[in-house]
Structure 1
Amino acid sequence: MTDIIIVGAGPAGLSAAVNAVNRGKTVRIFSNKENYLSKAERVDNHLGFYNISGKELMDKFKEHAEAMNIKTEEGKVVNILPMGESFMVNINGEISEAKKIILAMGVSKVKELPGEGRLLGSGVSYCATCDGMLYRNKNAIVWDQSNDALEEANYLNSIGVNITFVSKKARSEHLNGNIKYVSGTISEILGDYSVEAVIINGENLQADAVFLLRDAVAPTALIDGLETESGFIRVNKNMETNIEGVYAAGDIIGKPLQLSKAVSEGLIAAQHAAIQIDIQ
């Protein structure tokens, strides 16, 4: 079992990883997207660094972590399940167990569709390899919201799922020949107890499942019962969320959205998590 799993490898996540390892804890850190800091043209407000590009600074953070044998793993965390004194974490179908969780994914730009949260696990899925076999010989919709969506649609089709691929982009030529293609976006997921249909371009399309293959999962969809306020995760001074053992740090917990704040919050979350592990 890993001591701490960290979701997100930006300044807050890497700071948490470095400080957790300094406290003698084992960590796994996952990321599925480029950090926004890497795109900043110039950073002047982080103490000790002046007139440096965001990419250069992010590279320094990564070098620091790698020097401590902390390796960022490519992967999308799709579900976190509390199991008493530990957590089961689903990373693209791989299950890993941890004593504590630190969420550090940055500002969440994922907007939940009407019906998505209510039908999650009842036809709504974020992971093709995790849930695909449940819908063999059934009708499923794949919504194109990530670079991997085409590959995952073809995978689902290859294991016997009848796929309709929904996309705003002209990418149908890369799909398996028997996959249906619909140009557009999904606005709502319908069903009383399980997925029955989705609304695309104002029209209903029947389906048994819908795979929302985004690059990231909304924090409230990752773990049931997580409290938010104005779109940000609520934490106390120790970076603890309302769910015992789950911490959050960085832009995901609110303004000011500043680099130095994210780094310090990652430190606080890791140190408090490490202390709690020692007490247990």
Structure 2
Amino acid sequence: MATHKTRMLIIGSGPAGLSAAIYGARAMMEPIVVQGLQPGGQLTITTDVENYPGFRDVVQGPWLMQEMQAQAEHVGTRMMWDTIVSVDLENGSPFRAVGDSGDVYEGETLVIATGAQARWLGVPGEMELGGKGVSACATCDGFFYRGKKVAVIGGGNTAVEEALYLTNHSDDVTLIHRRDSLRAERILQERLFRHPKIKVLWNKVVESFEGDPLAGGLTHLSLKDTVSGDMSAFHCDGAFVAIGHAPSTELFKKKLAMDDGGYLLVEPGTPKTAIPGVFACGDVMDHTYRQAVTAAGTGCMAALDAERFLATSKFEKEQVPESTW
């Protein structure tokens, strides 16, 4: 067990955390990034990235995150392969975090960039058949369904993007949505509806995932029509749940204020939480935009505000009391 001290401790290593690290390192704060369970964040499970500024051609998500990490390390960031299991924010700066390795991390400032994770439906068979026909990441597992029949459950950007991606592997992709219209951006909807390999099942919800986890995995989905109430079976080889994400804020329950969705609350227009010296950036506090570029932007803001916090704290400590003469 070891103790690691820094002027800026960053929990999370997606675009937000690494951008904070780059700016923090350039400000001589010698940041430490604790990478967590998914180093690089959600972009490491995203193949084609076509909307990140600076790249005319499509780039690969894992490559982009490797470059961000290399840049952060190049300017002086220390990357730690660990997962934080507890934090102590009650006593103010320095803030203390403990990793599952047993190591302790202390930061004069703390930047929370833990991101978000995929949401699940919570219906029978979902967990039992996870990895055996049921997945929440088409870009991770789509390859295993080459030439097979697959379904995507959802109606937002995530679901449409997953369905479009799966056409690289399957000629038979069905999007299943509980309503009669999609929430996805118009340009994505147009691509979906024009694609010859994609069909849409409207007004259907998944009641259960059926199959044998020990023999063959998923066989079909049990669907309920939201209008008529009729039940039906949809036979497929793979099903991808794509209903959005939940912020990874479990560590901070009863320690920091959150909204009803579990997103950390910050001062409007800033990454500042209610605790001075603690900042939140990226998808952990952004339930509106949730883009890599906005995450990176708030990571930059967190580092700049952390630098100002330290400068202000140092100035206040150095003030000499007025003479009483």
- TM superposition score normalised by structure 1: 0.58
- Residues 219, 226 of structure 1: 8 Å contact kept: no
The residue that corresponds to 2:158 in the other structure is none
**1:273 CA drift (Å):** 0.7
Q: Name the aligned partner's letter for residue 23 of structure 1.
A: A
- Which structure has more relative contact order (CA 8 Å, sep 6+)? It is 1
Q: Which residue of 2 aligns with 1:140?
A: none
- 2:85 aligned with 1:85, yes or no? no
Which has the larger displacement, 21-30 or 265-274?
21-30
Q: Paired residue for 1:5?
A: 9
For 1:110 and 1:53, locate their aligned partners in 2 and report how far apart those are by CA, in whole Å: 23
Instruction: Select which of 238, 247, 254 maps to 2:270.
Output: 238
What SS is found at the alignment partner of 2:25? helix
Would the alpha carbon gap of residues 89 and 271 (structure 1) be closer, same or farther in structure 2, given more than 3 Å must change? Answer: same
Distance (Å, rounded) in 2 between the aligned partners of 1:53 and 1:263: 17
Cross-structure match for 1:163:
none
- Find the residue that maps to 1:25 and give its secondary structure: coil
- 3-state DSSP of counterpart to 1:89: strand
User: Are 1:38 and 2:51 an aligned pair?
Assistant: no
Determine helix, strand or coil for the equivalent of 1:228: coil
Unaligned runs of 5+ in 1: 112-168, 171-216
The verdict on how the C-alpha distance between 1:84 and 1:63 changes in structure 2, with shifts beyond 3 A counting, is closer
Q: CA deviation at 1:223?
A: 6.0
- Map 1:210-249; keep pairs closer than 5 Å: 218-222=248-252, 224-229=254-259, 230-236=261-267, 237-249=269-281
In the TM superposition, residue 84 of structure 1 has moved relative to its aligned partner by: 3.1
Superposed CA deviations along residues 205-256 of structure 1, whole A, max 9, x for unmatched, are xxxxxxxxxxxx9524346431111221111222011222211101111221
Task: Verify the 8 A CA contact 2:15 2:292 in the aligned structure 1.
Answer: yes
The change in CA–CA distance for 1:75 and 1:110 in structure 2 (over 3 A counts) is: farther
Could you tell me how far apart the structure 2 residues matched to 1:220 and 1:243 are?
A: 17
Tell me the percent identity. 25
Measure, in 2, the Cα distance between the counterparts of 1:266 and 1:11.
7
Q: Which ranges in structure 2 are unaligned for 5 or more consecutive residues?
A: 121-212, 215-246, 314-325
Show the counterpart of 1:265. 298
Amino acid in the other structure paired with 1:84: G
- Write the deviation string for residues 246-271 of structure 1: whole angstroms up to 9, x where unpaired: 11101111221101101100000010
CA shift for structure 1 position 66 = 2.1
Using the alignment, how far apart are the partners of 1:218 and 1:56 within structure 2? 23
Equivalences for residues 1-280 of structure 1 within 5 A? 1-34=5-38, 35-49=41-55, 50-82=57-89, 83-92=91-100, 93-108=102-117, 218-222=248-252, 224-229=254-259, 230-236=261-267, 237-254=269-286, 255-280=288-313
Partner of 2:175: none
In the alignment of these two chains, the number of paired residues is: 177
Q: Is the 8 A contact 2:25 2:76 kept in 1?
A: no
Amino acid at match of 1:87: F
CA distance in 2, matches of 1:19, 1:226: 24
Contact 1:8 1:30 survives alignment (8 Å): yes
Q: 1:79, 1:223 within 8 Å by CA — same for their partners in 2?
A: no
Query: CA 1:109 to 1:87, structure 2 compared with 1: closer, same or farther past 3 Å?
Result: farther
Could you say what the CA RMSD is over the residues aligned between the two structures, in angstroms? 2.2
Structure 1 stretches of 4+ with a deviation exceeding 4 A read 108-111
Using the TM superposition, name which of 231-240 and 6-15 deviates more: 231-240
- In the superposition, relative to structure 1, how do residues 44 and 262 fare at CA in structure 2: closer, same or farther (>3 Å)? same
| Structure number with bigger Rg | 2
> Aligned partner of 1:48: which letter?
G
State the alpha-carbon separation in 1 of the partners of residues 92 and 292 from structure 2: 34
**Mapped contact 1:80–1:223 kept (Cα < 8 A):** no
Change (3 A) 1:108 1:246: farther
Offset, 1:8: 0.4
Distance 1:26 1:71, change over 3 A: closer
